[in-house]
C-alpha cells in the first residue's frame, strides 16, 4: 500500500502551480540559505527576483505567507521523493529504506536546502502556520515508517521503532546542519540509519508472517506462502509454499520409493535420463536463463551462456560416469577373492545458495542421481524458482517420481533435511556459519556432508605477467554476477613494479562496464540479490573508506532511471589496502576488489594464505616454474594459472580450511555420493576350529 495516498487531501501541501510563484519560492530558499529567517524580507525577495514588492504580496500576502509557501515546497519535495520510491517497491524493509534515503538524500544535505530547512525548524515553535506544515510532514514520515514496520514486528514495537527512526533522521540531519554542513555526508548518515534499523529488526520479536510476502530473516510457518522478488525491479515473480515436517517426511517417503526403482536401473539407463534432461535444459536455455536473471538479478548475458549450460554440461558428464561406475576385484589367493561394490547412499539432500540457483541444483543432483541416489533439494529462499523447473524437466526426461524433489523454505526447512534420520547425506552450498550449523545437525545422524562454503581468495599478479590477461583475470575474479561468486579473488596482490600500470588498465576497463537492466543483452553487471545484501555490500564499501583504503572507482548505489527500483552497485576498486582491513579479510560477496601491493614471492604466499578461507586462488606469471611452485604452496582447493573463475565440470571444485569439505564435479564427486561394500568370496571349504 502506498501510505502517502492514504493521507487526507485537505493537507497544506498543495502544489504551487504558477511558475512565478515557484520562482519566488526558489528565491526565498536562496535568501534563507544566505541571510537566514530574519534577514529574509519581502523587499529583499522582490529585489532578488527582479519584481516589485507588490507582486510578491499579490501572490503570498505577507512575509509569513511567503515563508509558509517555501516551507511547504521543501516538505512537498521530500514527500514526492518518498512517494516516487514507495511506488516502485512493495517489501516493507525496502519501504523503510526509501523513507530514510529520501529524507537523507544528497539534496537534503546540500548546503542551500539544508540551511533553509534549519531556518524553518528554528521558527516552528513561534509561527503557527509553519508548525502546521511541520506536523503534517512529521505525521507522514511516521505513518510511512509504521505501516512498513507493522509488517515486520509487533504493533507496539513498530510504533516505538518508527519514532526512533524519525528521531534519528532528524538527529543526523541536525548534527550536519549545526556543523555548518562541514560534516554533511548523506551516504554515511544513511548507512548509520540502515545499520540501526537492521540491528533493531534483528533484535525485535518477529511478527507472524503474512502469507503473501515474507521479509528476509522472517521465516513463515509451514504451509504459508512467500514471494520471490525480482531484485532489479522489485516486482513479485511468484509465490512458493514453505515445506514443514509433514511435507519433508512425505518427500522422504516418496524419495525412498523412487530411489529403489532408480538404483535398480542399469547405469546406462540412468545415463539416458540424465542426458535427456541435459538436452531439454539446452533446448529451453533462453527461457530458463531469463527466469534465472529475473530471480537473481544477474545479466542475461551471463545466465544465457553459463547457468543453464553448465548445469547441462554437468548432467552429461555424470551421465557418462553413471555407465562406468564400478568396484574393484581383489585377488586373495587360490581360496578366495574379494570385490567392492560402489553403492548409492539412498536419499540425499541438497541445499543451495542464491547466486547460481539452477547450476547448484544441477551440480548437486547430477552426481547424486548418476550414482543411484534420490535427492531432495532446497533452493535458497531468495531464488526459489528455477529448481522447480528442473524438477519438471527431470520428470519429463523420464526420471521416476520422487527421485528428484524440491522443497521450499527457509533455514528451518533446511534443518528438517539435515536432521532427518532417513536422509543419508547433505550437500550444502552456503556461508561458513551455515556450514557449521549443517555439520553439527548432520552429526546427530552421522550423515555424510559436502560443504561448499565462502571464500576470500587471492589472485597474485607477478611482474612478468601479461598485463592485459592479468587485468582480464582480475575482472573475471571480481565482477561476474555482480561479484556474488564464492571463488572470487577479491584480494588482488600486484607486484609493486607493475601496480601503477595494472591499475591504469584496470580502471579504464571498469569505467566502461555496463551496469543496467539484467534483461538487456548489452548489460554486463546486473543487480545484487536483495536490498539487505546491497546494504551489506555498501556497508563494507563505507568501512573500507573509514579504514583508510582509497576508493578508485564505483562503490555507489546506482539509482538513475529505472535502476532506482533495484539493488545496483557500481563495481568498486580499492587501492591502498592493508591485510588487516575488514574489506580485505571478510567475504563481501559483492563487486568490491581490493588491490594490494607485494615485493617478493615468499611474502605474497604468506599473505595470501593468511586467511581462514581456502576456496580458490590464482597466479598470473609467465614463469612456468614459479607458477607451479607458488600454486603448490597456496592453501586453496581450486586454483588457476593465468586465468580465473573457469570451472569445467571435469575438474573437481571445492575448498580447504573453512571454505568447505568434499568436492563437487569431476570423478571426485562420485566418492561423496556412493559407499563401498566389500565382499569376500570363498572358493573352497570353510575351515573352522570348532
What residue ranges bind ligand NDP (CB under 6 A)? 351-355, 378, 380-381, 410-411, 414-415, 418, 428-431, 434, 437-438, 452-455, 486, 587, 589, 615, 655, 660
What SS3 state is found at 503?
Answer: helix
C-alpha cell at 207: 511478527
Return d(Cα 352, Cα 452) in angstroms, integer. 10
Q: Which is nearer to ligand NDP, 516 or 614 (CB)?
A: 614
C-alpha cell at 541: 564499501
Q: Which is nearer to ligand NDP, 230 or 355 (CB)?
A: 355
Residue of closest CB approach to ligand NDP = 414
List the catalytic residue out of 187, 215, 316, 664: 664
Q: Which is nearer to ligand NDP, 351 or 569 (CB)?
A: 351
Burial status of residue 355 (CB atoms within 10 A of its CB: 0-12, 13-18, 19 or more): buried
Return d(Cα 630, Cα 636) in angstroms, integer. 11
Tell me the closest approach of the beta carbon of residue 585 to ligand NDP, in angstroms: 14
Q: Could you tell me which residues come within 8 angstroms of residue 509 by beta carbon, excluding any fewer than 6 positions away?
A: 471, 475
Tell me the closest approach of the beta carbon of residue 382 to ligand NDP, in angstroms: 6
Kindly provide the b/e burial profile for residues 144-160, where b requires at least 16 CB atoms within 10 angstroms of the residue's own CB.
bbbbbbbbbbeeebbbe
Alpha helices in 304-356 (DSSP H): 307-324
Nearest to 458 by CA among 626, 631, 582, 600: 631
Tell me the closest approach of the beta carbon of residue 300 to ligand NDP, in angstroms: 20
Return d(Cα 523, Cα 624) in angstroms, integer. 36
Active site residue 486: yes
Active site residue 447: no
Q: How many CA atoms lie within 13 A of 328 on its CB side?
A: 8
Tell me the closest approach of the beta carbon of residue 689 to ligand NDP, in angstroms: 52
List the catalytic residue out of 378, 486, 499, 577: 486
Return d(Cα 147, Cα 439) in angstroms, integer. 40
C-alpha cell at 582: 575488514
Return d(Cα 200, Cα 215) in angstroms, integer. 14
List the catalytic residue out of 63, 298, 364, 447: 364
List the catalytic residue out of 292, 391, 452, 531: 452
Facing residues of 450 across strands? 427
Q: Which is nearer to ligand NDP, 565 or 663 (CB)?
A: 663
Q: Which is nearer to ligand NDP, 290 or 586 (CB)?
A: 586
Tell me the closest approach of the beta carbon of residue 434 to ligand NDP, in angstroms: 3
Tell me the closest approach of the beta carbon of residue 519 to ligand NDP, in angstroms: 23
Tell me the closest approach of the beta carbon of residue 151 to ligand NDP, in angstroms: 19
Kindly provide the b/e burial profile for residues 3-42, where b requires at least 16 CB atoms within 10 angstroms of the residue's own CB.
bbeeeeeebbbeebeeeebeebbebbbbbbbeeebeebeb
Q: Which is nearer to ligand NDP, 162 or 538 (CB)?
A: 538
Backbone angles phi, psi at 617, to 5 degrees: -165, 155
Active site residue 287: no
Residue whose C-alpha cell is 568370496: 681
Facing residues of 165 across strands? none
Tell me the closest approach of the beta carbon of residue 323 to ligand NDP, in angstroms: 27
Active site residue 155: no
Q: Which is nearer to ligand NDP, 309 or 615 (CB)?
A: 615
Burial status of residue 1 (CB atoms within 10 A of its CB: 0-12, 13-18, 19 or more): exposed
Q: Which is nearer to ligand NDP, 142 or 216 (CB)?
A: 216
By annotation, the residues acting in catalysis are: 364, 452, 486, 664
Amino acid at each position: 500500500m502506498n501510505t502517502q495516498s492514504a493521507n487526507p487531501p485537505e493537507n497544506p501541501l498543495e502544489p504551487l502551480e504558477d511558475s512565478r510563484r515557484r520562482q519566488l519560492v526558489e528565491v526565498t530558499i536562496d535568501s534563507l540559505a544566505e541571510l537566514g529567517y530574519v534577514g529574509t524580507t519581502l523587499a529583499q525577495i522582490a529585489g532578488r527576483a527582479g519584481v516589485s514588492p507588490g507582486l510578491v504580496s499579490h501572490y503570498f500576502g505577507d512575509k509569513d505567507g511567503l515563508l509558509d509557501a517555501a516551507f511547504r515546497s521543501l516538505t512537498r519535495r521530500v514527500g514526492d521523493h518518498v512517494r516516487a520510491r514507495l511506488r516502485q517497491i512493495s517489501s516493507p524493509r525496502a519501504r523503510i529504506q526509501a523513507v530514510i534515503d529520501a529524507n537523507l538524500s544528497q539534496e537534503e544535505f546540500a548546503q542551500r536546502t539544508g540551511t533553509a530547512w534549519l531556518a524553518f525548524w528554528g521558527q516552528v515553535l513561534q509561527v503557527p502556520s509553519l508548525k502546521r506544515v511541520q506536523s503534517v510532514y512529521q505525521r507522514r514520515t511516521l505513518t510511512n515508517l509504521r505501516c512498513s514496520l507493522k509488517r515486520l514486528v509487533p504493533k507496539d514495537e513498530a510504533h516505538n521503532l518508527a519514532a526512533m527512526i524519525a528521531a534519528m533522521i532528524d538527529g543526523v540531519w541536525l548534527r550536519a546542519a549545526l556543523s555548518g554542513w562541514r560534516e554533511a555526508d548523506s551516504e554515511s548518515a544513511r548507512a548509520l540509519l540502515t545499520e540501526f534499523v537492521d540491528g533493531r529488526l534483528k533484535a525485535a520479536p518477529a511478527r507472524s508472517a503474512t502469507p503473501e510476502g515474507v521479509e528476509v530473516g522472517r521465516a513463515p510457518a509451514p504451509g504459508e506462502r512467500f514471494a520471490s522478488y525480482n531484485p532489479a525491479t522489485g516486482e513479485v515473480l511468484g509465490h512458493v509454499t514453505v515445506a514443514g515436517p509433514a511435507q519433508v517426511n512425505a518427500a522422504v517417503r516418496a524419495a525412498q520409493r523412487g530411489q529403489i526403482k532408480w538404483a535398480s536401473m542399469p547405469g546406462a539407463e540412468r545415463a539416458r535420463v540424465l542426458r535427456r534432461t541435459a538436452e531439454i535444459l539446452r533446448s529451453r536455455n533462453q527461457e530458463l536463463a531469463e527466469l534465472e536473471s529475473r530471480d537473481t538479478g544477474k545479466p542475461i548475458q551471463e545466465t544465457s551462456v553459463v547457468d543453464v549450460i553448465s548445469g547441462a554440461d554437468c548432467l552429461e558428464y555424470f551421465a557418462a560416469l553413471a555407465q562406468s561406475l564400478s568396484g574393484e576385484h581383489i585377488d586373495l589367493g587360490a581360496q578366495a577373492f574379494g570385490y567392492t561394490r560402489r553403492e548409492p547412499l539412498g536419499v540425499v539432500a541438497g541445499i543451495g545458495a542464491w547466486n547460481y540457483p539452477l547450476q547448484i541444483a544441477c551440480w548437486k543432483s547430477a552426481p547424486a542421481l548418476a550414482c543411484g541416489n534420490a535427492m531432495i533439494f532446497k533452493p535458497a529462499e531468495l531464488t526459489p524458482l528455477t529448481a522447480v523447473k528442473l524438477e519438471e524437466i527431470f520428470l519429463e526426461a523420464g526420471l521416476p517420481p520422487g527421485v528428484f524433489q524440491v522443497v521450499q523454505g527457509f533455514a528451518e526447512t533446511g534443518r528438517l533435511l539435515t536432521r532427518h534420520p532417513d536422509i543419508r547425506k547433505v550437500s550444502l552450498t552456503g556461508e561458513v556459519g551455515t556450514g557449521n550449523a549443517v555439520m553439527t545437525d548432520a552429526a546427530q545422524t552421522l550423515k555424510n556432508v559436502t560443504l561448499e562454503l565462502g571464500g576470500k581468495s587471492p589472485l597474485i599478479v607477478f611482474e612478468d605477467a601479461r598485463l592485459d590477461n592479468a587485468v582480464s583475470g582480475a575482472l573475471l575474479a571480481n565482477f561476474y554476477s555482480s561479484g556474488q561468486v564464492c571463488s572470487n579473488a577479491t584480494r588482488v596482490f600486484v607486484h609493486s613494479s607493475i601496480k601503477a600500470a595494472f591499475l591504469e588498465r584496470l580502471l579504464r576497463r571498469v569505467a566502461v562496464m555496463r551496469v543496467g537492466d539484467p534483461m538487456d543483452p548489452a548489460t554486463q553487471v546486473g543487480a545484487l540479490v536483495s536490498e539487505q545484501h546491497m546494504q551489506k555490500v555498501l556497508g563494507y564499501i563505507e568501512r573500507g573508506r573509514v579504514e583508510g583504503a582509497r576508493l578508485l572507482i564505483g562503490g555507489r548505489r546506482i539509482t538513475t532511471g529505472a535502476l532506482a527500483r533495484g539493488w545496483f552497485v557500481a563495481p568498486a576498486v580499492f587501492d591502498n589496502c592493508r591485510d588487516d582491513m575488514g574489506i580485505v579479510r571478510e567475504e563481501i560477496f559483492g563487486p568490491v576488489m581490493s588491490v594490494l601491493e607485494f615485493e617478493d614471492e615468499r611474502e605474497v604466499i604468506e599473505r595470501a594464505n593468511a586467511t581462514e578461507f581456502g576456496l580458490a586462488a590464482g597466479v598470473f606469471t609467465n614463469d612456468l616454474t614459479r607458477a607451479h611452485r607458488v600454486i603448490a604452496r597456496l592453501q586453496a582447493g581450486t586454483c588457476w594459472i593465468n586465468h580465473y573463475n573457469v570451472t569445467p565440470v571435469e575438474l573437481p571444485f571445492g575448498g580447504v580450511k573453512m571454505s568447505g569439505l568434499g568436492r563437487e564435479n569431476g570423478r571426485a564427486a562420485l566418492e561423496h555420493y556412493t559407499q563401498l561394500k566389500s565382499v569376500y568370496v570363498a572358493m573352497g571349504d570353510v575351515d573352522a576350529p570348532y
